[in-house]
Amino acid sequence: MTPSTTTGRRSLGQLALALGIAGLLPVPGILASLAAIVCGRTALRDSGDDSGSARLGLGLGILGALASFLVLFVYCVVLGYPFPIHRYRAR
């Protein structure tokens, strides 16, 4: 691997870490978590050695996605609120 490729993979791992952290916040949520999973898997697959930031970003992305799906499950199934909300109309 050339130094630029190694630097690119390292920055992809750091991007996965940043997206994994952002995926735990409510605003970017599931989109950032899915992007962290994709970036983390790509960084781990393409790099010869294991990158700590890519592994951590992948783990945080999975954790954020599972948390989002858990909240959606509780909201829709346990509490019984409809998804999507197309029945409610302003009168």
In the prediction, which pLDDT does 82 show?
A: 73
pLDDT, mean of each 10-residue run, the chain (91 residues) = 56 89 87 92 77 88 92 86 65 65
87 domain-assigned = no
What integer best gives the mean pLDDT of the chain? 81
DSSP conformation letters of 25-91: STTTHHHHHHHHHHHHHHHHHH-SS--HHHHHHHHHHHHHHHHHHHHHHIIIIIS---SS--S----
In the prediction, which pLDDT does 25 show?
A: 87
59 domain-assigned = yes
91 domain-assigned = no
58 domain-assigned = yes
| Domain that includes residue 26, residue range | 3-78
54 domain-assigned = yes
Per the structure, the count of domains in the chain is 1
62 domain-assigned = yes
